[in-house]
Amino acid sequence: DIEVGVAYKEDIRRVLEILREVADKNPNALDEPEPVVIFKGFGESSLDILLG
């Protein structure tokens, strides 16, 4: 799992798209279960996202 903090000003849809692309292109990522991108919550200065 990788935790990512994204600044509030960033385009969250684009960030999620990029994270999915990274997971899809990673040869070490499993096909089953598929990688997921999960919004964890609001950090002090970021949106907290988990790629797992």
In the chain, domain spans = 2-51
Fold assignment, 2-51: Alpha-Beta Plaits (3.30.70)
Stated pTM of the model = 0.77
Instruction: Give tens-digit pLDDT for 7-20.
Output: 999 999 999 999 99
pLDDT of residue 31: 80
Angle, vertex CA 23, rays to CA 33 and CA 42, nearest 5: 95
Contact 49, 15 (CB under 8 A): yes
pLDDT at 4 over 90: yes
Residue 24's beta-bridge partner residues?
Answer: none
pLDDT of residue 32: 86
Q: What distance, in Å, lies between the first and last C-alpha atoms of the chain?
A: 4
pLDDT at 39 over 90: yes
